[in-house]
Amino acid sequence: MAEPKELALRYPQSCPFCSIAAAYRYAAAASPSPAAKQPQRQDETRAGQDMTAAAAAASNSLLASIPSSPSAIDPAKVSPAAYVVLSAPRVLAFLDIMPMTRGHLLVTTRRHRRKVEELVGGGGSIKGEDGDENGEEGEGECKGEVGDDEDEDEEGEEGRDIGFWLPLLAKTVATVIGVPDYNIVQNNGIRAAQVVPHVHFHIIPRPASLPALQNKSWTMFGRGAREDLDDDEAAALAARMRDALRVEVEALARRKGRRGRGRL
């Protein structure tokens, strides 16, 4: 693991992830088409069309979480540079600036949560719509410490959104890097090797050049050399990950659409 002093030189802010969240806001998708808003008709053909339109609207909402415009992906908006792959209402993903291996990705919350126990969990569905629920109102700002009754996500969607995006991002990393094995690690507290005090998950590819860890479950994921991220390579790598993530989201939307039509 990198030494705390070494990280402090690169992350001088009190919370660098809050700075990234503030700089890379969620861009809400366009409003659903009138067809998507229409109530389902009795006619099965019309109902199928309405469901397809609704699935398309949901897909567009999720795709809006994957930044594409030059301003939305500009790495120079923060210092050190950030190479953003996901900018969702409650979740962000960007390349680690001191990767253990190529493709080392961080997945974090927009709101400032120090440990995973502070995540607001619960059920529901990702809405990604305009208004208070999409996280546009101040969620990019560092809120500092979270008390028992303040800064709550009443819908309980923060933890669920992490659970939604993490598998998609893991598959994205594996696809782009071409390495099927990876670690997903989340540290809580300084004794547990957490350096940045903002809850985050590491997705770390394990290429064939690294030793296999079977029968060595005690081995810590973070032992090994970490090098500075190369800016040119990082920009190209983040772009490939965004493209691959779009493919995963579109495929997910198609699967959900087919299952929905099968229930008619």
The residues assigned a catalytic role are 200
Q: Around 182, how many Cα atoms within 13 Å sit in the side-chain half-sphere?
A: 26
> Smallest Cα–Cα separation from 65: which of 6, 129, 160, 131?
129
Full DSSP string of 54-117: HHHHHHHHHHTTS--SHHHH-GGGSSS---EEEE-SSEEEEE-SS-SSTT-EEEEESS--SSGG
Cα 17 to Cα 97: distance, rounded to the nearest angstrom: 12
> Smallest Cα–Cα separation from 17: which of 128, 116, 91?
91
> Smallest Cα–Cα separation from 21: which of 178, 199, 203?
199
- Would you mind telling me the total number of residues written for the chain in this entry? 264
Residue with tokens 């410490």: 145
| 256-257-259 Cα angle (round to 5) | 65
Cα 21 to Cα 93: distance, rounded to the nearest angstrom: 10
Tokens of 190: 């300084």
